[in-house]
Chain A
Amino acid sequence: GAVVSQHPSRVICKSGTSVKIECRSLDFQATTMFWYRQFPKQSLMLMATSNEGSKATYEQGVEKDKFLINHASLTLSTLTVTSAHPEDSSFYICSARDPGVGGNTEAFFGQGTRLTVV
């Protein structure tokens, strides 16, 4: 089946620095990718929709200047957490659907990135 790969799986950074997370679709082209955040024992909260070649669409309450999304190619979306603070520590997960399959279909998720800001 289709695979979405996310990197890194874990990252520890100092407060005030920026961290980039990559999400790649390995065997299909994804014009749209989704970024989620998950706090411990909570569900996935959609942060933004990443659109290839255009601006990302952010969910209400998500700061677009803090969470920069770039979808420069059909197989790569990146999420940059800028000026990270300890409260940004969370599990970040990306997902994509294979547009080659007609209709609404399953989403494929990356392995997730555990971000710890110290």
Chain B
Amino acid sequence: SQKIEQNSEALNIQEGKTATLTCNYTNYSPAYLQWYRQDPGRGPVFLLLIRENEKEKRKERLKVTFDTTLKQSLFHITASQPADSATYLCALDTDKLIFGTGTRLQVFP
């Protein structure tokens, strides 16, 4: 069956550290993969999109990698801040977006 799993339901880190979130998938071959941020009671907000022929994408403190052989994407937030606390969702882009299970990130001061 098709699955998209994000490695941990919750991740707690100290301010200033790098947060690394993992997205693994099976039985899909997406040409694109996207990451979103969702705050409680709100709709997701787009962060980054990476294509299958791109190994890495960066935007300010954010970095995404995409390994189609491992069927895995890593999402990094460097110099994390309490304001980064939210749920982060990966989504496989197959003309429609199929979302992963999500990881709740909590950054402590």
Contacts and interface: CB of A to CB of B under 8 A. Distances in A.
Interface of A: 4, 6, 34, 36, 42-46, 49, 91, 93, 95, 104-112, 114
Contacts of A104: 31-32, 49, 93, 95
A59 to B, nearest CB: 9
25 contacts: A4-B43, A6-B43, A34-B96, A34-B97, A43-B99, A43-B100, A44-B44, A44-B89, A44-B99, A46-B99, A93-B43, A95-B44, A95-B97, A104-B95, A106-B34, A106-B46, A106-B49, A107-B44, A107-B46, A108-B46, A109-B43, A109-B44, A111-B42, A111-B43, A114-B41
B58 to A, nearest CB: 16
Contacts of A106: 34, 46, 49
Contacts of B97: 34, 46, 95, 107
A23 to B, nearest CB: 10
Contacts of A110: 43
B72 interface: no
Nearest to B33: A104
A34 B91 CA distance: 14
B63 to A, nearest CB: 17
Nearest to A6: B43
A1 to B, nearest CB: 9
A112 B32 contact: no
B101 interface: yes
A112 B89 contact: no
B79 interface: no
A106 B101 CA distance: 19
